[in-house]
Amino acid sequence: MTSPALLRLDRVSLSQRGQTLLSNIELSLAPRQIMTVIGPNGAGKSTLLRLALGLQRPDSGTLWRRPGLRIGYMPQRLSINPLMPVSVSRFLRMSRHRRSSIKQALARTGIAHLAERPLHDISGGETQRVLLSRALLGQPELLVLDEPAQGVDITGQTELYELIGELRDQLGCAVLMVSHDLHWVMAQTDTVICLNQHICCHGHPETVSNDPAYLSLFGRRHAEAIALYQHDHDHQHGMHGEVLSGDGSQPCHHNHQQDGRHD
């Protein structure tokens, strides 16, 4: 039996100052599903997240969230005045959650050791984990992540996206995310939404990467970059991204090329 949706958009449209931001959007997000929204700059990706969060209302159509749905939100970035001596734990306490919840969230994201460090004294990757920790404080049933790897180096990106997958498994939450990392989309996402004011195509990552609408937006170079990752191999990937042997039982050594980001 299919679980009831956490979030549904039915023919949702939104315009601002005469400009169409989103047109006739239809999607349904199920529990534990990871849905990644991709698209060019100005495609309406962040607007779609704001609608999901209830920060904006559509001009037309229906947006439904399950009553009482607990949502955790992670913005793209955090701007902190370096003259403001705010520690990581103090920043999280501003959300008025219990200290025990804060300690647990920091432990889940692997940065418990940074609790008393000033925010301006940590790396970009650590800052993103602080923002992810903040999103976890309310035990969310839905994580909404706006380009969570913004400003993070390639190694940190891989680790952060693996962590998001692990959090989905640990918490049983769904994830709605904007991402520019195509390898993450291919490796971990259940459903891809290709957006350019309207939904150009959607479905499993492999299906979307071969869709003419996707190729029209991003070009064959990006599709070929994905294909390098998605090639017909005789191995499987484990839940943490490790490469398994053909029967899926043992790790083995295998290298993938990683050149698939787009603007």
Pairing label, strands 19-29, 34-38: unpaired
pLDDT-derived band at 229 (thresholds 50, 70, 90) equals: very low
Alpha-carbon distances, residue 158 vs 154, 177, 185, 220 (angstroms) = 6, 15, 11, 24
In tens, the pLDDT along 173-189 reads 999 999 877 777 667 78
H helix or E strand, kind and range, residue 34: strand 34-38
Taking the complete model, does pTM exceed 0.85, yes or no?
no
So what's the pLDDT on residue 37? Answer: 94
So what's the pLDDT on residue 51? Answer: 95
The Cα 114–Cα 122 span in angstroms is 8
Q: What percentage of residues in the chain have a pLDDT greater than 70?
A: 79
Contacts of residue 50, defined as CB under 8 A and 6 or more positions apart, other chains included, come to 56
Alpha-carbon distances, residue 123 vs 95, 111, 115, 129, 212 (angstroms) = 22, 12, 14, 10, 39
Token duo for residue 156: 């940190």
Confidence check: pLDDT of 126 > 60? yes
Average pLDDT, the chain: 82
In tens, the pLDDT along 65-106 reads 999 999 999 998 877 776 678 999 999 998 777 778 899 999
Confidence check: pLDDT of 252 > 60? no
- Poorest-pLDDT segment among 72-86, 112-126, 241-255: 241-255
Alpha-carbon distances, residue 99 vs 20, 94, 127, 238, 256 (angstroms) = 44, 11, 19, 34, 41
So what's the pLDDT on residue 226? Answer: 54
Place of tokens 């970035």: 77
DSSP for 138-204, written as a single string? T--SEEEEESTTTT--HHHHHHHHHHHHHHHHHH--EEEEE--BHHHHHHH-SEEEEEESEEEEEES
So what's the pLDDT on residue 257? Answer: 37
Task: Single out the residue of 197, 127, 136 nearest to residue 172, CA to CA.
Answer: 136
